Amino acid sequence: MGKNRTIPFGYMMQNGIITTNPAEVLAVLTIFSEYMAGKSLNAIAKNIGVPYSDKVGWNKNMVKRVLENEKYLGTDTYPQLISEDVFKAVNERKSAKSTSLCIVPDELQEVRSLTVCKECGKRLFRTKSELWDCRNGICHPFLFKLTDEMLTGAILNILNTAIANPLLIKAESAVSEYIPTSEILCKQAEINRAIDNGTKTAEEIRNDIIRLAELKYKHCTYSDVPQKTELLRSLIAEKNQLNTLDTGLLISCVKRISVSHSCIIEAEFINGVIIKNETERSDENGDST
């Protein structure tokens, strides 16, 4: 693992004095220039040729920190890299984007990637007012208000239910199943007759047997549900009841979260088991409670 930086990107320590690092200064100037040109934080991060620190690459959060670092304006300790006008323009643009876009917090990104509308199957939309809704044109909006707290609370309740009751995630499924089709039965009967009557050569019978084996293999099904169930059990075996949503556990255990228009939130676990969290509705204000 690379070492953490002790001074901001763009600077280095030389003879006990903080001075500029030419290669990194160029990268800082490029970051500001490309952001003002309209590039996203992710796009900028992918194209920076200088590592952030020893063996550590870039991501959008690092780019964001560079754009917000006031030390680049110059202090008694740090030489100036960015003019005040450029710094102000970049951060005004960033603030404008934050207010005009629906920014999903990092802790909700994983939840959003898993959550869909029960009716149409499309991913839910999170509004600027922190409400979740279906915006699919062929579907229709929710008849209730679904907040961040309500959604994460329901998911937390489902995970705690599974932790407290491991038997709920048990899924019954055979490892393999074989049901012969009419084609397979006919082929088997044909081979039996050929062997009994001697109407085919040994080579022809061998080819028929190979063909029969291919047909049988084609119609054998394999299920990995037992293995996934065991994985689920191992993931929750030592877990205590959660006070906050564990997104790492969530993405390891849950394949899909669906929200119905009747305010039912359910989680489909990786082995196909579904656990629901049904929320009552208040007729007085139409909100979920």
Query: Per residue in 16-52, pLDDT tens?
Result: 899 999 999 999 999 999 999 888 898 999 989 888 8
Question: Model confidence over 60-77: pLDDT tens digits?
Answer: 989 999 999 999 999 888
Measured torsion, CA atoms of residues 25, 29, 32, 35, in degrees rounded to the nearest 10: -110
Prediction pTM value = 0.49
Asked if residue 73 lies in contact with residue 80, where contact means CB atoms within 8 angstroms, the answer is: yes
Query: Of 225, 258, 246, which Cα lies nearest the Cα of 159?
Result: 246
| Of 79, 91, 77, 111, the residue nearest 36 (C-alpha) | 91
d(CA 118, CA 138): 13
For residue 240, the SS3 value is coil
- The answer to whether the beta carbons of residues 204 and 194 sit under 8 Å apart is yes
Residue keyed to tokens 């199943």:
177
**Cα–Cα distance for residue pair 250/154, rounded to 1 Å:** 12
pLDDT category, 217, cuts 50, 70, 90? Answer: confident
